[in-house]
Structure formats: structure tokens, C-alpha cells
């Protein structure tokens, strides 16, 4: 297996990352970093993770050649990395499983998490049920409204879902509340962050757990297409599925393109969530990274049709990939995401989540540019069952 071994982890990606946290949490981060370094160098841990990956999550997930979509669009061949087929329906389980196993090693019986779309909450509640850990999930009331199915799933799985009614009532506010819980219960509790964000070592650790996506996809492209893709495309909320897909290709001649949520438009501050495209560097949730903020450093409200992309920050490694020029970041708006959603559903019989629907739209656009004979790898980070209500609402259909 595959994670590089080392006795230290770099706390920063260029200028970005770091650990901007209240003193109360410093000890827990140091302890976590130490435990994670041990675990990643420990064959038993890696084997346990791989074994559960195979038999519990269903890895490797398939790489699917979207033939009809390719024909319809005309241009590069479009390949889907099917994280929608992972247990619980999204890539979030890869990270939840890794961190929960680590929490066991840390002897922390209580897990807290934040969730936006509910996918990370469901993944966390799922692994907690499987490992016998107590689970509390913080979720904004706006997200509870639009992702009610996932709320019920979490409850069935035995998790307590705590509504968060501050700020925008979405993901950022759920993270604030989870942090406050952690500040209070840090001795017994592990905060299982759901994306490649937060203080060191979270961005590195989450990226490592999600890199299984890119490692598999790289092998599968070589096997099935006979070569590497020209481009890898993924949606970026906090950036965990994207960094997981990108990371194993960083040394390859592959264009990496992250797609953020333009919401109702990039020109409307507060009504999009395109952090890397429209933001500037700052410090939020313990890390130095791109943020959507005003001139005084106040964090802006955000909007996206997809709850999972509705966040004013982004993982620090993406900030670095952007400023170093290694990856490109673009944005798709709500309408474009809906178009991507419909397109994949109707041409392939695969219903994507609204988050990766942003990436699908971007890939369709790129197909012409890359041209026939080229290959585009798309991270299909999750399935769309959870979004049927939102899509119906957007299309003016009453269910």
C-alpha cells in the first residue's frame, strides 16, 4: 500500500495550511498528528483499512466509460470514477473509515462531525455504528431542511443530529458548533472533519484517506484506456474528493481542474461558493487558505444549490495547487449543475449528486477543447438520491 512513510508531516502547503486554533485544542492536534504518523507507517492499520475498504465500502469502485454521454457530447472520451457506488453513496466514507479507526487507536469513544449535504454525516454515523462509537453530528438548519432524507438516515444509524441555527445555518456554522463541542469535550472526543480542511494534520490526513480514489483511477485508466487522461475534473467544496482524485496525478502530465459552485453567479457576493475563483487568502477554521470574505476579514455568506459545496473556505492544499499553477479552478452555477445532473441521468442512467453534477457540466464543456482521442477523468463523488427534492423544487415539480 501506498501512503508514503515518514516520521513527520509538513504542516503547510507552501504558504497555506498551519494550525490556527485555540490553545485548548493544541494538545489534541499534537496527539492526533502523532497517532496518525504511527498509523500510516503501521502495516496492521493499513491492512485493516484496506480490508474494510474492500469488504465494507466495496472498493475498488469501478471506472466507467460513459459511452453514450461521450457520443452525445462529441469530443474527448468521458470516464467516471464511481464513488457513488461506495457504501453510503459517496466518497465521504473513505475518510470517515480512516479517521474512525484512528479514533479507536486514540481511545476516544465519542465522535463528532459536521455535515452539509448529510453525506459525511451519514458516512460517519455508519462507521460509528459498525465500530460501536458514540456519534454526534452538527448540521445547519437550512441543510436539515434540504437534506431531510440524510437526517433520517443518520438517526436510524444511531447518531444524534444537532441542529445549528447560527449564521447562514449551513456547513460553516455546523463546523463552528462542532469546534465548540470539541473545545469542551476534547479529552474524550475525536472531531471527524469531513473534508480536507481545518488545522494540521487534518488536510493531510483526509487527503491521504481520499487518495485511494486517484490511485485506483490511475491504475484503472492505464488498464482500461491504456493511458493516463489528459484531464482530471472534480467538484470542490472543502475539496476532499478533488484532492483525493488529483493527488496521485500531481507528478503526471495531467491537467487538474477543480470545479467550484458559482451558485447564482460570481458577480453576486454572498450568493456563490466559489472560494478559489472569487476569494482571497485568510484564516478560517484553523487553516490559512482562500476564503470568501469582505475587506475587513468578515466571512461572507455563501449559496449553492448543492449543500455539500456551500462553504466559504477550501482545503489549503488546493490554495497551494492554485497559486503554484499546478491545478486550475473554475466554477459552474446552479443552472449548469442542474444541466449536468439531467444530462448524466438521461444519457447514462446514473443519477449524480448535485455536487459532482458541477464537475460533469465542466467536463462536458471541456470535451470539445480536449477533442476526440483524448480522455477526461471525472470524479463522480456521490449519487443523487439525496437531492431529488432539491431538483424537483428547482424544476418546479411538487413531489
Ligand X SMILES: Cc1ncc(COP(=O)(O)O)c(C=O)c1O
Decide which of other proteins, ligand X, none touches 356; Cβ closer than 5 to 8 Å per partner kind: ligand X
Closest CA to 316 of 195, 142, 165: 195
Report the catalytic residues: 92, 114, 381
For residues 58 and 167, which CB has a smaller minimum distance to other proteins in the complex?
167
Question: In the bound complex, what is the minimum distance in angstroms from residue 186's beta carbon to other proteins?
Answer: 6
Give, in order, the Cα–Cα distances in Å from 82 to each of 55, 198, 242, 380: 16, 26, 13, 5
- When binding is defined by CB under 8 A, the residue of 43, 223, 296, 396 that contacts other proteins is 296
Q: Is 297 helix (H, G, I), strand (E, B) or coil?
A: coil
- When binding is defined by CB under 8 A, the residue of 286, 308, 340, 356 that contacts other proteins is 286
Query: Residue written as cell 475587506?
Result: 295
Decide which of ligand X, other proteins, none touches 353; Cβ closer than 5 to 8 Å per partner kind: ligand X
Give the rounded distance of the alpha carbon of 39 from its chain centre.
22
Closest CA to 232 of 40, 71, 241, 28: 241
- When binding is defined by CB under 8 A, the residue of 13, 16, 28, 352 that contacts other proteins is 28
For residues 6 and 166, which CB has a smaller minimum distance to other proteins in the complex?
166
Give, in order, the Cα–Cα distances in Å from 364 to each of 128, 147, 294: 38, 27, 33
Sheet order of strands, 12-13 included: 12-13, 16-17, 287-291, 280-284
Under rule CB under 6 A, residue 241 binds ligand X: yes
For residues 186 and 327, which CB has a smaller minimum distance to ligand X in the complex?
327
Under rule CB under 6 A, residue 116 binds ligand X: yes
Q: Which of residues 299-318 bind other proteins (CB under 8 A)?
A: 299
Binding mask 287-326 for ligand X (x = CB under 6 A): ---------------------xx-----------------
Under rule CB under 6 A, residue 195 binds ligand X: yes
The terminus-to-terminus CA distance of the chain in angstroms comes to: 46
Decide which of ligand X, other proteins, none touches 251; Cβ closer than 5 to 8 Å per partner kind: none
Q: Is 64 helix (H, G, I), strand (E, B) or coil?
A: strand
For residues 158 and 282, which CB has a smaller minimum distance to other proteins in the complex?
282
Decide which of other proteins, ligand X, none touches 259; Cβ closer than 5 to 8 Å per partner kind: none
Q: Where are the beta strands (DSSP E) in the chain?
A: 12-13, 16-17, 63-65, 77-82, 110-115, 134-140, 160-164, 189-191, 231-235, 255-263, 280-284, 287-291, 327-333, 375-380
Under rule CB under 8 A, residue 150 binds other proteins: no
Q: Is 128 helix (H, G, I), strand (E, B) or coil?
A: helix
Question: In the bound complex, what is the minimum distance in angstroms from residue 124's beta carbon to other proteins?
Answer: 20
* Euclidean distance between CA atoms 103 and 191, whole angstroms: 9
Closest CA to 86 of 378, 350, 383, 355: 383
Binding mask 158-187 for other proteins (x = CB under 8 A): --------xx----x--xx--xx--xxxxx
- When binding is defined by CB under 6 A, the residue of 382, 387, 390, 391 that contacts ligand X is 382
For residues 127 and 179, which CB has a smaller minimum distance to other proteins in the complex?
179
Which residues are paired to 12 by β-bridges?
17
Q: Give the footprint of other proteins on this chain (CB under 8 A).
A: 18-28, 30, 166-167, 172, 175-176, 179-180, 183-187, 282-286, 291, 293, 295-299
Q: Give the footprint of ligand X on this chain (CB under 6 A).
A: 90, 116-117, 119-120, 195, 235-242, 308-309, 353, 355-356, 381-382
Amino acid at each position: 500500500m501506498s501512503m508514503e512513510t515518514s516520521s513527520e508531516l509538513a504542516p503547510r502547503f507552501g504558504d497555506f495550511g498551519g494550525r490556527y486554533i485555540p490553545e485548548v485544542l493544541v494538545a489534541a492536534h499534537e496527539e492526533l498528528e502523532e497517532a496518525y504518523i504511527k498509523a500510516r507507517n503501521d502495516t496492521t492499520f493499513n491492512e485493516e483499512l484496506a480490508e474494510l475498504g474492500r469488504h465494507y465500502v466495496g472498493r475498488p469502485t469501478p471506472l466507467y466509460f460513459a459511452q453514450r454521454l461521450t457520443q452525445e457530447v462529441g469530443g474527448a472520451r468521458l470516464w467516471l470514477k464511481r464513488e457513488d457506488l461506495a457504501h453510503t453513496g459517496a466518497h465521504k466514507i473513505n475518510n470517515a473509515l480512516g479517521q474512525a479507526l484512528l479514533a479507536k487507536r486514540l481511545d476516544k469513544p465519542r465522535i463528532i462531525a459536521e455535515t452539509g449535504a448529510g453525506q459525511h454525516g451519514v458516512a460517519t454515523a455508519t462507521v460509528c455504528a459498525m465500530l460501536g462509537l458514540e456519534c454526534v453530528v452538527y448540521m445547519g438548519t437550512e441543510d436539515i431542511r434540504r437534506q431531510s432524507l440524510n437526517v433520517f438516515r443518520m438517526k436510524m444509524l444511531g447518531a444524534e443530529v444537532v441542529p445549528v441555527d447560527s449564521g447562514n445555518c449551513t456547513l460553516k456554522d455546523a463546523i463552528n458548533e462542532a469546534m465548540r463541542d470539541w473545545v469542551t469535550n476534547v479529552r474524550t472526543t475525536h472531531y471527524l472533519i469531513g473534508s480536507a480542511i481545518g488545522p494540521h494534520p487534518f488536510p493531510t490526513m483526509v487527503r491521504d484517506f481520499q487518495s485511494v480514489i486517484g490511485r485506483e483511477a490511475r491504475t484503472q485508466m492505464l488498464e482500461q484506456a491504456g493511458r493516463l487522461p489528459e484531464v482530471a475534473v472534480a467538484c470542490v467544496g472543502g475539496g476532499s474528493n478533488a484532492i483525493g482524485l488529483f493527488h496521485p496525478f500531481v507528478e503526471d502530465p495531467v491537467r487538474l481542474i477543480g470545479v467550484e459552485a458559482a451558485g447564482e453567479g460570481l458577480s453576486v457576493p454572498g450568493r456563490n461558493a466559489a472560494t478559489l475563483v472569487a476569494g482571497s487568502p485568510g484564516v478560517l477554521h484553523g487553516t490559512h487558505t482562500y476564503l470568501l470574505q469582505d475587506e475587513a476579514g468578515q466571512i461572507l455568506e455563501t449559496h449553492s444549490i448543492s449543500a455539500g459545496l456551500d462553504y466559504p473556505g477550501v482545503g489549503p492544499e488546493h490554495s497551494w495547487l492554485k497559486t503554484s499553477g499546478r491545478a486550475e479552478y473554475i466554477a459552474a452555477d446552479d443552472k449548469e449543475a442542474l444541466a449536468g445532473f439531467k444530462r448524466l441521468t438521461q444519457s447514462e442512467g446514473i443519477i449524480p449528486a448535485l455536487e459532482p453534477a458541477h464537475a460533469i457540466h465542466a467536463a462536458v464543456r471541456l470535451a470539445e477543447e480536449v477533442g476526440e482521442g483524448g480522455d477526461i477523468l471525472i470524479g463522480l463523488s456521490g449519487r443523487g438520491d439525496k437531492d431529488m427534492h432539491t431538483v424537483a423544487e428547482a424544476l418546479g415539480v411538487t413531489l
